[in-house]
Amino acid sequence: MLLFIIGGAIGLVAIILLGLVIIYNGLVGLRNAVKNAWSQIDVQLKRRYDLIPNLVETVKGYAKHESTTFEKVTQARSACMQASAAGNVGELAKAEGFLTQALKSLFAVVEAYPELKANQNFLALQEELTSTENKISFARQFYNDNTMRFNNKIQMFPSNIVAGVFAFKIAEFFEITTAEERVAPKVQF
């Protein structure tokens, strides 16, 4: 009888230990997935910073008088690069929101110049920028999905105990924070 109880106790401890190991490894795996997803965003953001000067130069060739728009884009770009270098997710998301707005007004300017819109060089740049923007938003989606999974694990029972013991920290979502982007499109009937 005693042997039976001891055996049972050892079995129970073994199962609990195994569970702990599985939970811990799951947490580490998710934390790495979040880090990897973040580096994906970073790569695409850098690519966008590289494309912008070329774009501004090409547009300048046709539309010399829109200097305020160019300045806005250039300023937003350098703000982003600073936030990116500092590694602050919240600040970067805000700066990126401004850059997106500035680029939108730049493309609105382009609408008034038909020769520019037919320029092959410009079209190629526009496609590259569109693609990079898409990549950023998909990378952000992938990052946020992974972040949600990681945060769920940290907050849900029983993995929250393991997360607490080993001091896993909640990851930050990459959110757009400018007011314009937050407004849902209005539908009128």
Question: For residue 91, which of 14, 181, 177 has the smallest C-alpha distance?
Answer: 177
Please pick, from the candidates 9, 14, 50, 138, the single residue that binds another protein as defined by CB under 8 A. 138
CB 174 within 8 A of CB 143: yes
Asked if 180 touches another protein (CB under 8 A), the answer is: no
CB 147 within 8 A of CB 34: yes
Question: For residue 68, which of 109, 98, 111, 117 has the smallest C-alpha distance?
Answer: 109
Single out the segment in contact with another protein by CB under 8 A; choices: 9-17, 36-44, 79-87, 92-100.
36-44
Count the neighbouring beta carbons within 10 Å of the beta carbon of residue 181.
12
Please pick, from the candidates 24, 62, 135, 160, the single residue that binds another protein as defined by CB under 8 A. 135
Please pick, from the candidates 128, 144, 177, 178, the single residue that binds another protein as defined by CB under 8 A. 128
CA dist list (Å): 43 to 46, 84, 96: 5, 11, 14
Asked if 185 touches another protein (CB under 8 A), the answer is: yes
Length of the chain: 189
For residue 141, give the amino acid letter.
Q
Asked if 4 touches another protein (CB under 8 A), the answer is: no
Asked if 37 touches another protein (CB under 8 A), the answer is: yes
Asked if 134 touches another protein (CB under 8 A), the answer is: yes
Structure tokens at 182: 């937050």
Asked if 95 touches another protein (CB under 8 A), the answer is: no
Single out the segment in contact with another protein by CB under 8 A; choices: 58-66, 76-84, 89-97, 134-142.
134-142
Q: What residues make contact with another protein under the rule CB under 8 A?
A: 37, 40, 44, 120, 123-124, 127-128, 130-131, 134-135, 138-139, 141-142, 149, 152, 156, 184-187, 189
